[in-house]
Amino acid sequence: MAADIPELTIGMLPDHRGAGTGTALMTALLALARSHGLRAISLSVEDGNRARALYDRLGFVKVGRNGGSDTLLVRLAPQS
């Protein structure tokens, strides 16, 4: 990935999954990244991880694959 695109790593404790906490956290994080002028954020998600549905809803798209994980990217600002 490009040096100016940060890679996000996030996890939720099992007791907090499915309650909207991850959605709220990711939505706030993406808004903050946009406000700081970042053009994109990437992350990796392992096969079978149910957070994949959240990433899809937030606009992340597959841009690569490494072993049992997909690399995803969400564009935040127009490319110049």
**Residue ranges covered by each domain of the chain:** 14-75
Is residue 5 within 8 A of residue 42, CB to CB? The reply is yes
> Residue 1: pLDDT band by 50, 70, 90 thresholds?
low
Give the pLDDT score at 78.
60
Is residue 69 within 8 A of residue 40, CB to CB? The reply is no
Residue 80, pLDDT above cutoff 60: no
Query: Was domain 14-75 assigned CATH 3.40.190.10?
Result: no
Give the pLDDT score at 49.
92
Helix (H) or strand (E) holding 79: none
pTM above 0.85, yes or no: yes
Query: Per-residue pLDDT averaged across 53-69, rounded?
Result: 95
> Residue 2: pLDDT band by 50, 70, 90 thresholds?
confident
Give the separation between CA 39 and CA 46, rounded to whole angstroms: 24
